[in-house]
Structure 1
Amino acid sequence: MSVPLIQLRGITKRYGSGAAELMALKGIDLDISAGEFVAIIGPSGSGKSTAMNILGCLDTPTAGQYLFKGAHVETLSRDQRARLRRRYLGFVFQGFNLLARTSAQENVELPLLYRGDSASTRRVAAAKALESVGLGGWERHTPAELSGGQQQRVAIARAIVTEPAVVLADEPTGNLDTQRSHEIMGLLLALNRDHGITVLMVTHEPEMAAYARRMVHFLDGRLAKDEVNPNPSSTAPAELANTETT
C-alpha cells in the first residue's frame, strides 16, 4: 500500500496556560491520500480551523507528528515550512484576500513572485490559471471591478498557479450566494477530479460538504466521525464554462 500524502498522529494544540488554557485539539489521528476531496466539518470551536492551520503549515502542533510525503513537518523550521507551502500548497480563503489595487493577473502572479520566477514565466502561468477558472480576458480587472464569485475565482487561480499538490479551502463559499457557491464548488471538484489535486475544505455548510467524497467531523477538539460520502454532488466543468460570472 502507498504511504498517505498526509499523516497526523496524536496531534494536540494548546493555547494559553493555567486557568486560561484551551486545548483546541486533543489527539488527532488522520490519514489523507493523494487525490482525495475531504470536507472538514464541525461547529464553531470544534478545532477544524486549528487543524486546517496545522495542515497548511500556518501553525504548529503542541505535540504529535505531522508527516507530509513522509517528512516530519513538526520538526521543520519556520523557513522550511514556508518553502513547503510555496512548493506543495495552495490556499483559498472565505474573504478572498486579494490586493485591492492590483489586477487579477498580478494577484495570481504573487505566489510565483515570492518563489522567484521570472516575469515572463509568471505572466504565462497566471494567464493559464485565470483561463482555467473561466476568467480569460479579465486579467486587467481589479477586485473592485469583479463580483464576489469572480473574486473567488481569482483566488482559486492564485491557489493553483504554482501547480500545488494540495489546495486548502477555508469556508470558500462563505461570502457567496447559493448560485456562486455551487459554481465555486464545481471548480474545486474539477481541480480534484480532472487534475488530481488533493482538496481539503473546511465548511459548516452541509450542502457544500456534499461535494466531497469524504467527510471528517470535528467536535470539541476531537475527530468525532470519518465517513465516505457515497453520492457526492457534482457539477460538470462544461456547465461551469457556460455559467455567467458576473
Structure 2
Amino acid sequence: MADPLISLRGVTKRFGQGAAAFQALRGIDLDVFAGDFVAIMGSSGSGKSTTMNILGCLDVPTSGAYTFRGVHVENLDRDQRSLLRRRYLGFVFQGFNLLARTTALENVELPLVYRGEDRRQRRERGMAALAKVGLADWWHHTPAELSGGQQQRVAIARALVTEPDVLLADEPTGNLDSERSVEIMELLSDLNRRVGITILMVTHEPDMAAYASTIVHFRDGLVERTEAGGQHRTHA
C-alpha cells in the first residue's frame, strides 16, 4: 500500500501558558492519501480549524509529527513552510477573498504574480484554471458582476492555478445558498475525480460532507470517529 501523502501522529496544539493555557488538540492521528477527498466535521472548538491551520503550514504543532510527502513539516523553519505552502497547497475559504476592482482572470493570476511568472504564462495558466471551473467566458468580469457561486468558482480557480497537490477548503459553501452550495460541491467532487486533486474540507454541514469519500469527526481536540462518505458522488 502506498504511503500517505499527509500523516499526523500524536499532534497536539496548546495556546497560551500556565492557567490561561488552552489545549486545542490533544493528540491527533490522521492519514490522507493522494486522491482522497476528506471532510472534517465537528462543533466549534473541536479542533478542526486548528488542524487545518497546521496542515496548511499556517501554524505548527506543539508536539507530534506532521509529514508531507515523507518530510517532517514540524521541523521546517518559517521560510521552508512558506515554500511548501506555495508549491503544494491551494486554499479556498468561506469568504471568497477576491480583489474587488480586478477581473476574474487577474484574481486567478495573483499567486503566479507572487511567483514572478511572466505575463503571457500567467494569462495562459489563469485561463486554463478558469476553464476547469467553467468560467472561461467570464474572465473579464469583476466580482461585483458575478454571483456568489461564480465568485467561489473564481476562488477555486485561483487555488488551482499553481497546480497544487492538495486543496484545503475551509467552509467553502458557508456564504452560499443551498443551490449554489450544491454547485460548488459538485465542482469539487468532479475536480477530485477527474483531475485527481486531493481535497481536505472543513464543513459544519452533513449534506456537504457527504460529497467527500471520507468524513472525519472531531470532538474536544481529538478524532472521535471516521466514516465513509460518498453518498452524493457519481462516477462518470
TM-score normalised by the chain length of structure 1: 0.93
Identity of aligned residues (%): 68
In the alignment, which residue of structure 2 is the partner of 1:153? 153
Instruction: After superposing the two structures, state which structure 1 stretch, 131-140 or 158-167, moved more.
Output: 131-140
Contact preservation (8 Å) 1:129, 1:157: yes
1:152 maps to amino acid: Q
Q: Distance in 2 between matches of 1:208 and 1:235?
A: 14
Instruction: After superposing the two structures, state which structure 1 stretch, 45-54 or 109-118, moved more.
Output: 109-118
- What are the ranges of 5 or more consecutive residues in structure 1 without an aligned counterpart? 238-246
Deviation at 1:136, TM superposition (A): 1.2
Are 1:53 and 2:53 counterparts? Answer: yes
In the alignment, which residue of structure 2 is the partner of 1:110? 110
Secondary structure at the residue paired with 2:136?
A: coil
1:77-99, Cα deviation, whole Å (9 max, x unpaired): 11111111111110000001111
Deviation at 1:235, TM superposition (A): 5.9
Give runs of ≥4 in structure 1 deviating > 6 Å: none
**Pairwise CA RMSD:** 1.2
Q: Distance in 1 between matches of 2:16 and 2:81?
A: 23
In the alignment, which residue of structure 2 is the partner of 1:220? 220
Secondary structure at the residue paired with 1:137?
A: helix
Q: Distance in 1 between matches of 2:105 and 2:90?
A: 17
1:2-44, Cα deviation, whole Å (9 max, x unpaired): 2100010110001011221100000101111000000000001
Q: Distance in 2 between matches of 1:35 and 1:28?
A: 21
Q: Distance in 2 between matches of 1:84 and 1:110?
A: 18
In the alignment, which residue of structure 1 is the partner of 2:202? 202
Deviation at 1:225, TM superposition (A): 0.4
Q: Distance in 2 between matches of 1:78 and 1:98?
A: 26
Q: Distance in 1 between matches of 2:235 and 2:179?
A: 14
In the alignment, which residue of structure 2 is the partner of 1:80? 80
Q: Distance in 2 between matches of 1:31 and 1:236?
A: 24
1:143–1:236 CA distance, 2 compared to 1 (3 A): farther
Deviation at 1:116, TM superposition (A): 1.8
Q: Distance in 2 between matches of 1:24 and 1:6?
A: 20
Secondary structure at the residue paired with 2:35?
A: coil
1:26-76, Cα deviation, whole Å (9 max, x unpaired): 010111100000000000110000000100111111111100000010111
In the alignment, which residue of structure 2 is the partner of 1:35? 35
Contact preservation (8 Å) 1:186, 1:236: no
TM-score normalised by the chain length of structure 2: 0.97
Q: Distance in 2 between matches of 1:169 and 1:202?
A: 6
Aligned 1:87-98 pairs, distance under 5 A: 87-98=87-98
